[in-house]
Chains A and B, each alone.
Chain A
């Protein structure tokens, strides 16, 4: 208890935290004082020693990590909890959504999903002229950034070309905000080149949006899915109870024996430990905290337990592969040597097979098992490569890079991201970027994320920060966006400045946050 009091005092007195950041830190401290969900001694040791990691979600889960309310249904039926009737025009619709966002929890304390805003708002725009539409959406976008100051807050666009979608992209280029994170869903049959081109020009300005493969997503998740937080894809009306990740780099280090015995035995044991921790956390959320029995979102039919699953994350594939190759006397590395890369694919395939046959409670949203997620790291990771990426700074040329990582993408229904870096050449030939997106998706890439050297934005993992905001944080110690604080940790631990002209390494969340 003395330590608890000391830590509480430090938070209360911290000059670097805003009021709200202090409240969140105090809540986190209180939760840490409870006992974590019970697991076996072996599982607890795996957590303690970093083989598995709950990304500091907290000891006593009381809200799902990610939840995706059915905003479309809410707009259609109104909300008793919010005391709002179904909106009848664009003004009411935007006010409705902004009100609702404030009442949607997630691991970050802010909603990680804002809905497919173009599809939600388009029906209200018929009698609205362009100037009014731009003005209203500008106010909405500014309000989102100021009231939900967290770059894990994520809006979706597409796959259809709409006035709202075009307006959002134009405003992104004008406002240059890191919030919200943004994804464009691309369907080769529905999304015209000119819309993708508009989005590519937006990437040049502010690093957003991500581009996701809509047919692949609907194939895995059904027609109603959303991309949330960094690049996590889940079912609308559902979500993910938790995200627990297996450190494959550490897993391979603990193995003695050949590759085959790793895949057959060691990896299977480690997957089981990760799943055990997930099961305990899910039960704690659903059975002890009884989130689903006490949520207005559930009461109003905007969220349902049967559309939930949980996310099984992996990271450190590159180090895992290289360790196994080296222990067999080889020298090839993941992403560069064809055999090593193929071994990386086999490891992912094996994890996918194991996860798909490991039942978890309350995961009816994915037939009783977890969704696989290529987890992009947290700000305290050192020397372990994000997810299934090729290590930062060591990526091969673009085509080889795409060919090396794309075969992994089909396994990660809940999201995977390989950040493609390019320089100013692209800004003179944006169609080339469109071509790369089209080709990547045609060959099986799920998510295409870019980082451009020359603008003010850096994609830390899946979320964005501005270099100028980081400089301000360093100078003043204060940040309005919680995600900037995480990013500063990443910069300190992974020397982003060394990589300023390369892709940025991943790290995604610090003590309290996200993935």
Chain B
């Protein structure tokens, strides 16, 4: 991680100027290019490589101007990916610029992250970030490795730190049939979250094969009943009012 100063440009896979699914309210969402995990179930696999001719470079000024044009319609902005924290210096500088602008200071700034970020990265981001939506791909380390290619020690550390600094807005559980969908796994994940992140909303997301890589296309999407069961297992300890199932 280069923390010497803000990078002059960010590498972006996509920008969604009105997003209703990346945090509270209507949000300007930037999907950064490049990810440090290699998730089997990723539904945007084109955002995974760090470098690709499909991505485009943007400056902070460009993003600030683009948000300003539509600021009256927004609750805030969200960075996602790929993994936005890989470009933390750029993100932090952009967030700071938004916060400094009289027309845009009211916008909330959210980060959507897989949690594979070190303390230096969070040191950069958290002073200018209102909320983080954190993916927990699996609580069990072997399952996490099987689904993402890496263990989850850093993810769990990030979760604890975000809770401690009151920045954890939501935990997202992507449930992939045959991998992390057992009752036991989801109940123990619920227990863990109730203990480590009390009061934090949890979104339980059923796997959908749309957009995934060939290796994951054979995995079936869970039925409505199955998704409801996932939610109920997590909610057993987290509390029903905090759990949303999509």
CB distance from B130 to the nearest CB of A (A): 14
Partner of B20, one of A432, A439, A440: A432
Q: Does A425 contact B (CB under 8 A)?
A: yes
A-B contact pairs, 12 of them (CB 8 A): A399-B18, A425-B20, A425-B21, A428-B21, A431-B24, A431-B25, A432-B20, A436-B73, A438-B73, A439-B73, A442-B72, A443-B73
Asked if B24 and A429 sit within 8 Å, CB to CB, the answer is: yes
A454 to chain B, nearest CB (A): 15
**Contacts between chains A and B (CB distance < 8 A), count:** 49
Q: Mark B39-74, 1 if CB is under 8 A from A, else 0.
A: 000000000000000000000000000000010111
Contact assessment for A428 and B73 in the assembled complex, using a CB-CB cutoff below 8 Å: no
Query: Does B246 reach chain A (CB closer than 8 Å)?
Result: yes
- A174 CB-CB contact with B under 8 Å: no
CA distance A431 to B26 in the complex (A): 7
Q: Mark B71-85, 1 if CB is under 8 A from A, else 0.
A: 011110000000000
Does A426 count as interface, using CB distance less than 8 angstroms?
yes
Give the docked Cα–Cα distance between A58 and B203 (Å).
Answer: 58
> Does A435 contact B21, Cβ atoms closer than 8 Å?
no
Give the distance to chain A from B21, nearest Cβ to Cβ, in Å. Answer: 6
User: B97 to nearest A CB, angstroms?
Assistant: 21
Residues of B close to A428: CB separation below 8 A: 20-21, 244, 246
A440: B residues at CB distance < 8 A: 73
Q: List 5 additional A-B contacts (Cβ < 8 Å) besides A435-B26, A443-B73.
A: A399-B18, A399-B70, A432-B20, A436-B73, A439-B72
| Residue A434 is within 8 A (CB to CB) of chain B in the complex | yes
Q: Which residues of B contact A (CB under 8 A)?
A: 17-18, 20-21, 24-27, 70, 72-75, 244, 246
- Judging by beta carbons under 8 Å apart, are B73 and A426 in contact? no
CA distance A431 to B24 in the complex (A): 7
In contact, B17 and A399 (Cβ under 8 angstroms): yes
Question: Does A398 have its Cβ within 8 Å of any Cβ on chain B?
Answer: yes
**Per-residue B-contact encoding for A438-465, CB less than 8 Å = 1, 0 else:** 1110110000000000000000000000
Closest 9 CB pairs of A and B: A439-B73, A435-B26, A442-B72, A431-B25, A432-B26, A439-B72, A432-B20, A429-B20, A435-B25
A398 and B70 CA atoms in complex are apart in Å by 12
Known: A398-B18, A428-B246. A439 touches B75 (CB 8 A): no
| Shortest beta-carbon distance from A432 to chain B in Å | 4
B25 & A429 in contact (Cβ 8 Å cutoff): yes
**A428-B244, A432-B26 known; A439+B74 contact, CB < 8 A:** yes
Q: How far is the CA of A151 from the CA of B75 in the complex (A)?
A: 34
Q: What B residues does A442 contact at CB under 8 A?
A: 72
Instruction: Kindly list chain A residues whose C-beta atoms are within 8 Å of the C-beta of B72.
Output: 438-439, 442-443
